[in-house]
Amino acid sequence: MILDSPATPRVHRLDPHLVTMLRPRSFEAEQYRRLRQRLEDLAPARGLRVLAVTSAAAGDGKTLTAINLAAVLANAPGARILLIDADLRQPSIARQFGLDGEVRSWADPADGPNARPLERVITVAPGLDVLASVENRVDPYEVLRSSAFLELIAAARRSYDYVILDTPPAVPVADSALLGKTVDGYLLVVAANVTPRALVREALSQFEPGSVIGLVFNRDPQPLFGYRSRQYFKAYMRSFESA
User: Does the residue 127 lie in any domain?
Assistant: yes
User: Does the residue 25 lie in any domain?
Assistant: yes
User: Does the residue 92 lie in any domain?
Assistant: yes
Map residue 112 onto helix, strand or coil.
coil
User: Does the residue 5 lie in any domain?
Assistant: no
- pLDDT digit string (tens) for the chain, length 243 residues: 333 333 344 455 776 677 667 677 777 778 888 889 989 998 988 999 999 999 988 888 899 899 999 999 999 999 999 999 999 999 989 888 888 777 778 887 767 666 788 888 999 889 999 999 887 767 888 889 888 899 999 999 999 999 999 999 998 888 888 898 899 999 999 887 788 899 999 999 999 888 998 888 876 655 444 444 433 333 333 334 433
Map residue 197 onto helix, strand or coil.
helix
Whether the model clears a pTM of 0.85, i.e. scores above it, the answer is no
User: Does the residue 192 lie in any domain?
Assistant: yes
Q: Parallel, antiparallel, or unpaired: how do β-strands 81-85 and 162-166 relate?
A: parallel
Q: How many Cα atoms occupy the beta-carbon half-sphere of 130 within 13 Å?
A: 35
CATH of the domain at 196: 3.40.50.300
User: Does the residue 4 lie in any domain?
Assistant: no
Closest to 83 measured CA to CA, from 184, 13, 165: 165
Specify the number of domains making up the chain: 1
